[in-house]
Every structure is written in C-alpha cells, then in structure tokens.
Amino acid sequence: DLLTRARAALVPATYAVDGGALAIAQNGHFTRTRRIGGYLDEVVRYDGESLVATYPELGLAIERRVGLAEPALLSQWVPWLLPSPDALARWYVVTKVDDHTLRLQQRGSEETIDLGLDAQLRLVSISQRKGTQLLGQTRFEHDSKGLTIVSDDQRTRIELTTRQPITDAPAE
C-alpha cells in the first residue's frame, strides 16, 4: 500500500534545528538534541512507542507514551514524516486518491486531509478541505540542502547537517 511504501522509502537524515540536531532514522524514529539556556543538554528520542526527554547533567529522564497518538506527535515535531498505518487508521478512514495522494477523514466529519507525495514518496503537501473548499495547506519543499516548510505564507527553512545528536544516556 502507498503509506507503507512511502514510510519504507524514508531516507535517514540529520537537520539543524533549535541550535541542535534532529536525526531521523529510516524507520521514522528520531532524536533531537539541543542546549537549553547555554548550559543544559536536552536529548529527546522517539522510538515509535514513547517520547523520552533526557537531561544527562541532571540524571533526569521523562517518558511519555505515544502509541496510536503518533499522528499528533509527528505533526508537532517532524510534520514531514508520515505516521504508521495503524496510527492513522485509529483516527481516520484512509483512502488512496491516486498514486501520490492519500485522503484522511475522521469518522462523522465532512472535512478531509489530503497527503500529497512526490515521485520519491516524500510528503510534499498536507491539504485540509471541506468538500471542495481548501481550508488550509502546508507544503514541504525538499531539496539537496534540506527542506522548507510553507504554511500560511510563512516559510521555515530546515538545513541538513553533518552534526550528530548527543547520545549520552542519563546518569543512573
């Protein structure tokens, strides 16, 4: 199916975000690192089931179970990644519109969300509609140096980087 093929086509990458790094693995898991206030390292990992924020200097870890709420998590952290088929099926009726478009519709709602994919099966647009009326759209413009997120005439650039995230585990 289209969603499974698109998730399998994900190319691992590391982006420069929040003064740190966001590394995305081929399976859609991610690690984001940053320094808060110039002195405190934060390492946030998503393993497909839980989001864990660690603060190595403090020996502190905070775990949040995500499970089938993955679409909401990804929409906030990495909106250009596609959720798992099971997670989408929990919240939406998912239909294939054409070879590059999936339509999501919550049960009992007139509104739909179209997920547009490019030839490499990367997410390039999220369009929310009510019937034929376009309510909102976010586009993802991928290029060899990163991607640009375009939403409501606002452009956010995210550059690829060779910087690797911190991998220190919290102290026991």
Report pLDDT digits (tens) over 72-131: 999 999 999 999 999 999 999 999 999 999 999 998 899 999 999 999 999 999 999 998
- Please give the radius of gyration of the chain, using alpha carbons only, rounded to the nearest integer: 17
pLDDT-based confidence at residue 18 (cuts at 50, 70, 90): confident
Lookup: tokens for 169:
């585990």
Residue 142 · residue 124 · CB < 8 Å: yes
Indicate the Cα dihedral angle 23, 30, 32, 124, nearest 10°.
70
> Which residue, 135, 159, 167, 138, is CA-closest to 150?
138
Q: According to the model, what pLDDT value does residue 134 have? A: 94
What's the pTM?
Answer: 0.88
What's the CA gap between 140 and 63, in Å, rounded?
Answer: 29
Instruction: Report d(CA 99, CA 1) in Å as an integer.
Output: 10
